[in-house]
Structure 1
Amino acid sequence: MTATKTCAICGKPVPPRPENRSYPFCSDRCRLIDLSKWLGEEYRIPGPRAGDGADQPPAPGAEEDEPS
């Protein structure tokens, strides 16, 4: 027995991949709604934003030398 998958957007049953070009969504409409949410930044991945400088090393000379 296979589990019936449901569409993440509308909750309707999703036909299997061979007969559904919009898989894992139930239709092109739901696929496009999901895409627009990504493009509109409604979905976010936790963590610092790319390009905020948090992952870059400090500038040369910015670190203080420890006394010897």
Structure 2
Amino acid sequence: MPKSSVTPTLNCPTCKKPIEWSNKFPFKPFCSERCKLIDLGEWASEGHKIPGESVYDDVLSDDLDPNKPRH
């Protein structure tokens, strides 16, 4: 089967600029380091969130209670 010569494209998640999925864009799926850092900042400031109920850290979890019976 011959290999396709069409390079896939996608839109940068931050600025929506179309980019090729190739080595010309080392920050893929972002078009640039700037867009990558903007997205990271959104996650860090909780601008982006994954929907669902909050889950406590293991340190706060009831299963670590030494007085609670184990299964």
What TM-score range do you get, normalising by the shorter chain? 0.5 to 0.7
Structure 1: segments with no counterpart, 5+ residues: 61-68
Q: Which amino acid aligns with 1:33?
A: I
Computed over aligned residues only, the root mean square deviation of the Cα atoms, in angstroms, reads 2.7
State yes or no: 1:34 paired with 2:39: yes
Q: What aligned pairs does 1:6-45 form with structure 2 within 5 A after superposition?
A: 6-45=11-50
Question: Cα distance 1:37–1:46, how it changes in 2: closer, same or farther (>3 A)?
Answer: same
Deviation at 1:17, TM superposition (A): 3.5
- Equivalent residue for 1:4, pick from 9, 15, 22: 9
Structure 2: segments with no counterpart, 5+ residues: 1-5
State yes or no: 1:50 paired with 2:55: yes
Q: TM-score, normalising length from structure 2?
A: 0.62
Deviation at 1:16, TM superposition (A): 2.5
Moved over 3 A (4+): none
Greater gyration radius: 1
Q: May I ask how many residue pairs the two structures share in their alignment?
A: 60
Higher relative strand content: 2
Q: TM-score, normalising length from structure 1?
A: 0.64
